[in-house]
Amino acid sequence: MNLLIVLFGILLLVLMISWGKVNAFLAFLVVSIFTGLLLGIPFGGIAKSVYKGIGDTLGELSIVIVLGAMLGKIVAESGAAQRIATTLMNAFGTKYIQWALMVTGFIIGIPLFYNVGFVLMVPLIFSVVYKYKLPAVYIGLPMLASLSVTHGFLPPHPAPAALVGQFHANMGKTLLYGICIAIPAIILAGPVFSRTLKGVVATPLEGLVAPERPESELPGIGNSLLSSLLPVILLMLTTIVPLVFALPPKAKAIVEFFGSPSIILLLAIGLATYSLGICGGMKMKKIMKIYEDAVKDIAIILLIVAGAGALKEVFIDSGVSLEIAALLQQWPIHPLVLGWLMAAIIRVCLGSATVAGLTAAGIILPLMTKMHVDPNLMVLSVGAGSLMFSHVNDSGFWLFKEYFNLSIKDTIRSWSLMETIVSLVGLAGVLLLNLLVR
């Protein structure tokens, strides 16, 4: 019964937004309250669930999204994005620009949280799209597929790293196996699948893309890359250093502090303000106006992401995810497929890949000793399942939809199917590796 209520709530949300033309944030609030009542959450608890969902989601994402938008805006307005896009196109040509962006997404996606990577790289995608008059979804999806795969499959991202600990897996082996699976998943879900999307009409937010400037006014490629990719460099350093060196507690605490995405983005904003703004001849007043405009560009996105967080919290507080997953324990299927299926169903119901992975792990963990399965592969199986069919209850779905300015139908056709391909190819890769590494 609860599963039917969840499905009804998701259907109601889609109808309110697409057919009723209701603002997405308002629709999320209405559906969250209505679904919470149907799922049996007490009247006093529904408001708390909504507040907690919005607060927890914005607490994690608001600083990252706002600072990322500011950095993206100054990179665009200064001409740095244009310089990088021009250099990439000169190096790879229009024919191979998808592959250049895909490789870039994979490299930066390993240390970078998905939402950080998204808001940092979208301006680069849009610069290529507007400069060379290319289809936005066709060009952008391969890079975003890379970011998504690294988020779901590879440590040190939150869910895979936590799963490694819960399943007592080896992080090095998990990372190695994960890369082996990630490469075909990205290629099939990115450049191959995106060929079917050339006809999708997208009008991305032009506020994130500055007008094209003369070549002589552009910053150098070294300055452009350093200012744009400083967050990536710092995150890589703060991730690798603790793994390579045995740091004393104080040094470890300092590294962890500077490894926080919010701190890293703030440092990156400081560098970009000087290197791209002041050194580029901008007055501080103009730079601050650029940052204000960046916040205006993404204000509605923050509200929509917050609404998705409210609905997710209602589902979590109702206990519906545990109820559904517990039913799956009785199914006579391969343990790796079972782990994937648990995570996939929770992902479809709740939207959060991290919550889906950790919830599925908590359910399947007691069965691990009886299953005789490679724990490293179980991490990847659950991780693949946690990426299955992102839709209206996932903040990533709304980030993609709103940034690319797509309809819900076209977002499902592109983003949701891309995530589904990633998930299915991931499962196939896990099962193949299970035959090879026994």
CA distance 32 to 423: 27
pLDDT of res. 429: 97
Is residue 160 very low, low, confident or very high in pLDDT (cuts 50, 70, 90)? confident
Is residue 209 very low, low, confident or very high in pLDDT (cuts 50, 70, 90)? low
Burial class (CB in 10 A: 0-12, 13-18, 19+), 209: buried
Angle between helices 221-244 and 80-92 (to 10 degrees): 90
CA distance 57 to 294: 20
Angle between helices 335-350 and 375-385 (to 10 degrees): 30
Structure token digits, residue 32: 């969250």
What is the pLDDT averaged over residues 169-173? 83
pLDDT of res. 364: 78
> What is the tens place of the pLDDT at every residue in 62-75?
888 888 888 888 88
What is the pLDDT averaged over residues 264-291? 93
What is the pLDDT averaged over residues 282-297? 90
pLDDT of res. 30: 93
Q: Which amino acid is at 103?
A: V
pLDDT of res. 200: 92
pLDDT of res. 413: 96
Of residues 387, 382, 384, the one with CA closest to residue 350: 387
- Out of 62-66, 92-96, 177-181, 239-243, pick the least confident: 239-243
> What is the tens place of the pLDDT at every residue in 328-379?
567 788 889 989 998 898 888 878 787 788 777 877 776 776 667 899 999 9
Greater confidence (351 vs 31) lies with 31
Decide: 219 and 278 in contact? Cβ < 8 Å.
no
CA distance 343 to 358: 8
- Which alpha helices (H) appear in 319-389, and where do they start and end? 320-328, 335-350, 353-364, 368-371, 375-385
Is residue 410 very low, low, confident or very high in pLDDT (cuts 50, 70, 90)? very high
| 325: pLDDT strictly greater than 70 | no
| 188: pLDDT strictly greater than 90 | yes
Among 148-162, 304-318, 394-408, 409-423, top mean pLDDT goes to 409-423
| 286: pLDDT strictly greater than 90 | yes
CA angle 434, 158, 180 (to 5 degrees): 30
Q: What is the pTM of this model?
A: 0.73
> What is the tens place of the pLDDT at every residue in 79-105?
887 788 778 778 888 788 899 889 888
Is residue 390 very low, low, confident or very high in pLDDT (cuts 50, 70, 90)? very high
CA distance 365 to 401: 35
Tell me what percent of the residues of the chain surpass a pLDDT of 70.
93
- Out of 13-22, 380-389, 397-406, 429-438, pick the least confident: 13-22
Of residues 331, 381, 334, the one with CA closest to residue 356: 381
CA distance 134 to 129: 5
Structure token digits, residue 59: 């607490």
What is the pLDDT averaged over residues 147-163? 83
Greater confidence (291 vs 232) lies with 291
Burial class (CB in 10 A: 0-12, 13-18, 19+), 243: exposed
Q: Which amino acid is at 46?
A: I
Average pLDDT of every residue of the chain: 85
pLDDT of res. 225: 86
